[in-house]
Structure 1
Amino acid sequence: MTLIEWLLNGQLHVGGGTLSVREVVGNLFGLASAVLGMRRVVWAWPVGLVGNLLLFTVFVSGELSGVTTEPLWGQAGRQLFFIAVAVYGWMRWTRLRAAGGSADGRAITPRWATPRERLMLVLLGIVGYAAAYLVLQSIGSWGPVTEAWILAGSMLATYGMARGWVEFWLIWVLVDIVGVTTLIQAGYYPTATMYLVYAAFVVVGFVTWWRASARLTAPDHAEEAMA
C-alpha cells in the first residue's frame, strides 16, 4: 500500500472500533490549526484548510469511525464553509501581518467584539441556523436540529477568528458541546473523543486570547474593524 493509498483507505484500530486514516489526519491538521490560531500565526489558515478537505471526504461518505451510515451533511457542509473562510482569514491575517501585525509580533491583535458586532453575530446565528435547518432537513441529514447549529455556529466562530474577536472561542465551546453529543448519539465514539481533546484546546485558546486582548494596546483596532 502506497502512502497515498494508506491516507485515502487506511484504517486504524482503536479499542473496539476503527478510525479512518483520513479522519485522524484531518483532525490532527484541525488541532494544529487551532494551536496556530491560538498563537495568532497566519499558517493557522492553510493548515486548517488541508484538514477541512480531508474531513469533508470523511463526513460526506458517512464512513466515520468505521461506522457506515448516512452522511453527516451538517459536518460536511461546514468543511466547505471553512475552506471559503480560510481563504478570507488567510488573506486578512497576511495583510495585517504585512502592515506590522500586533504589538507582540503576531498577525492580529485580539479584541472583544463591539455591542453592534455582537448583535450582528446573534442575528447571523439565528438566520444561519434557520437556513441550515431547512436545507439539512430537505436533504435528509442524520440530525438537522443539532447539525444546523454545528454548521451555523461553525460559520460564526470561523468568521470571528478571521476578524480577531475573542468571542469566537466561546462560540466554538458551544459548537463542540453539541458536536460531541451528536457524535456520541450517532455512535462515532472515537471521533467524539478527539473532539473532546479539541475542546480542551478551545478553552485554552479563549484564555490566551482574553489575556492578550487585555495586555496589548492596539491603535489600529478601528482600522481593523473597518477592514
Structure 2
Amino acid sequence: MLHSLYEFLTAAVGNSPLEWVAVLTGFACVWLAARESLWNFPIAIFSCALYIVVYRRSGLYSDSLLQVMFIALSVYGWYEWLYGGRNKTELPVSRTRPWEWAVSVGFIVAFTTGFGYYLAHNTDATVPYWDSFTTASSLAAQYLLMRKRLENWWLWIMVDIIYVPVLWYKQLYPTSALYALYLGLATYGYIQWRRQLYKELKIKN
C-alpha cells in the first residue's frame, strides 16, 4: 500500500525535471499562440525537443516522432506568420478552406490506420491507434495553425480531450494535467482568434 502510494506521488511530481521543463514551456507556447505572439514558435521548438525524450522514454513512439515534425513545422510557421500574407505581409486570421478540410481528414484517417497498424505489430506501443490518431490530428491542427486558420483550435480541443486520459494512463501525470490546461487554452485561443477575424472583416468592409 505504502509502496503504491510512493510510486503514485513520485510519478505525480514528474518522472524527471525534464518533463516539468517541457510542461512549463509547452504551456507558454500555447498561451502565446492563443495571443497571436510570434514568440510561440521558438518556445515551441524548445519544448518539442524536450518532449522527444519524454515520450520516447514512455513508449509513446508516435508522439515522440510528432515532436520532430512539430519542430520543422514551427520553423515554417514562424516564417508564414511573418511573411505569409499578401505581398509578404503579416499573415491574418482566416477560415479553413474546404480542400484543407478534405486533405486534413484524409490524412488523419490514412495515418491512423497505417501507422497504428505498424506500431501495433512492430513495437511495444500500448495504445498504437490512439497514439497514431492524436499524432495525425495534431499534425493537421499544426498545419492549420501555421496558416492561421481559425478552426485549428477545433482540432486542438479534440486532441486535448483524448490526450488527458491517455497520458494519465501512461503515468505522465504532469503532462496529462498540462493537456487539461491546453483544453482551456484552446477554447480561449478560438475565442480570441474569432474576435480578431471579425475585426479584420469589419476593417475590410
1:139 alignment counterpart: 123
Question: 1:172 and 2:160 equivalent?
Answer: no
Q: Of 182, 191, 200, which residue of structure 2 is paired with 1:198?
A: 182
Whether 1:119 aligns to 2:115 is no
Identical amino acids, percent of aligned pairs: 25
Alignment size in residue pairs: 194
Greater fraction of residues in helix: 2
Structure 1: segments with no counterpart, 5+ residues: 1-12, 63-70, 102-107, 221-227
> Structure 2: 5+ residue runs without aligned partners?
1-5
SS at match of 2:116: helix
Runs of 4+ in 1 over 6 A off after TM superposition: none
Provide the C-alpha distance between the structure 1 equivalents of 2:135 and 2:182, rounded to a whole number of angstroms. 17
CA RMSD of aligned residues (A): 2.4
Q: Is the 8 A contact 2:93 2:193 kept in 1?
A: yes
The residue identity in structure 2 corresponding to 1:54 is L
Matched, 1:148 2:138: no
Alignment partners' CA distance in 2, 1:131 and 1:110? 33
TM-score (norm 1): 0.77
Letter in 1 for 2:105: V
The aligned residue for residue 56 of structure 2 is 60
- Asked if the contact 2:20–2:174 (Cα under 8 Å) also holds between the matched residues in 1, the reply is no
More strand by share: 1
What SS does the aligned partner of 1:206 have? helix
Deviations 1:32-83 (A, max 9, x none): 1112211222221111000000111111122xxxxxxxx1112212111111
CA contact (8 A) 1:113 1:167 kept: yes
Aligned-residue offset at 1:190: 3.0
Alpha-carbon distance between aligned partners in 2 of 1:35 and 1:155, rounded to the nearest angstrom: 18
Q: TM-score, normalised by structure 2?
A: 0.85
